[in-house]
Amino acid sequence: MKVCVIPGDGIGVEITAEALRVLEALRGDGLKIEFEHALLGGCAVDATGKPYPEATSKLAREADAILLGAVGGPKWDTLPREQRPERGLLGIRADLGVFANLRPAILYPELANASSLKPEVVSGLDILIVRELTGDIYFGQPRGIEERDTQWGRQRVGWNTMIYAEEEIRRIGRVAFEAAGKRGGKLCSVDKMNVLECTQLWREVITAMAAEYPDVELSHMLVDNAAMQLVKAPKQFDVIVTGNMFGDILSDEASMLTGSIGMLPSASLDANNKGLYEPSHGSAPDIAGKGVANPLATILSAAMLLRYSGEDEANAVRIENAVRKVLAQGLRTGDIYEAGTQRVGTKEMGDAVIAAL
Ligand code: NAD
């Protein structure tokens, strides 16, 4: 595999270094993997004047997968919008056409106290949200704000278009059914078919696909109920698939059930399972350079990279088990520290994961 490594800014540099060491340890054990480094975000602006330089685009397009840290920081906050680090992130996602966003929310039993919900409701939680990332009301045309005659007189109205083509639903459906098949075998499709025609089509297409995946048990839920069920009884879910807007909201809700932003990986995939893998958190300027950031979200993103782009389930599981082991040993970075555990830095956490491998 050719992996394009993009550390980015702030703690991105420290946490990707640890994920890379974990992958290198597996390479020492027979994994065939090569790395190329590229710039994105603030550091790319400093070096080239652009947040997403052509050289990075070329390397990212040529690679089988991209491992990304995080971008941004106060140093670049006053730049014009086009030069902001976040533009680099949107640029690379659009450039690679990654339409399937996979966000697992796992609560390791050792971290059950980190959640704002009762430990018995969330302990052992392990769900995966599959969110469509490039369609829906966020991208639908027409859209705009203009003055019109209304029942309240002439005034501005704003409107957006929620739109999905059948094939657009089918391709995200395939990702979700396949993911469910590799996990607990349960898929819940979330829509608002009682009110929105667009999501009525969503339900019809997903329902028709179920016959191709006899091992997966499909259910449907309206989005308002799903939001409620996620905080009431989140462990009823295995994989959830939904559109861009509902997925945006539900994936943030689900990730916060775990209470630990430093633990959450993500993957964004294209039709060929080429993917961009990154932690769900940002560049944490407040702790950057101090060697205290939690590298586990990025290490778990590397596990997802092996699973989805490398079709290497065995090594993905090895990394995930190693992470479970260091948590069971009581090692904690500052963000997940609690009395009675052992506080460690970024590099010590990386060392411990490698030792556990
Ligand atoms: P953030 O996620 O960077 O930080 C929020 C809080 O969580 C901070 O207190 C931080 O110290 C802590 N935190 C985050 N990751 C951690 C880790 N691995 N270990 C320990 N603690 C961790 O969000 P923010 O402060 O809103 O944003 C900071 C910068 O990051 C901004 O420039 C923002 O634009 C950028 N950002 C980038 C991404 C990305 O690259 N995908 C995502 C979100 C924010």
**Percentage of residues in the chain with pLDDT exceeding 90?**
87
Angle at 8 between CA 3 and CA 13, to 5 degrees: 85
284 C-alpha vs ligand 1 centroid, how far in Å?
4
Q: How far is the CA of 288 from the centre of ligand 1 (A)?
A: 10
If we measure between CA atoms, which residue out of 108, 101, 82, 346 comes closest to residue 248?
101
Per-residue DSSP letters for 216-236?
A: SEEEEEEHHHHHHHHHH-GGG
Q: In what order do the strands lie in the sheet with 2-8?
A: 34-37, 2-8, 65-70, 275-279, 265-269, 100-106, 126-132, 239-242, 186-191, 217-222
Clarify whether 9 is annotated catalytic: no
Active site residue 192: yes
Q: Rounded to whole angstroms, how far apart are CA atoms 316 and 323?
A: 11
By percentage, how much of the chain surpasses pLDDT 70? 100
Q: How far is the CA of 90 from the centre of ligand 1 (A)?
A: 16
Q: What is the pLDDT of residue 245?
A: 96
Mean pLDDT of 16-26: 98
Query: What is the pLDDT, as a whole number, of residue 17?
Result: 98
Query: Is the pLDDT at 199 greater than 90, yes or no?
Result: yes
Average pLDDT over residues 175-183: 94
How many residues appear in the chain? Answer: 357
Partner residues linked to 222 by β-bridges: 191
Task: Give the pLDDT band (50/70/90) at residue 109.
Answer: confident
Does ligand 1 lie within 6 Å of residue 87's CB atom? no
- For 202, the token pair is 């969503």
Which CATH code fits 105-132+165-263? 3.40.718.10
Topology (CATH level 3) of domain 1-99+270-357: Isopropylmalate Dehydrogenase (3.40.718)
* Ligand 1 within 6 A of CB of 73: yes
- Domain layout of the chain by residue ranges: 1-99+270-357, 105-132+165-263
- Point out the catalytic residue in the list 191, 192, 213, 277: 192
pLDDT reported for residue 149:
98
95 as an active site residue: the answer is no
| 77 catalytic residue (yes or no) | no
- At residue 261 the predicted structure's pLDDT band, cuts being 50, 70 and 90, is confident
**Token pair of 280 as six digits:** 């769900």
Task: Say yes or no: do domains 1-99+270-357 and 105-132+165-263 share a fold.
Answer: yes
pLDDT in tens, 213-233: 999 999 999 999 999 999 999
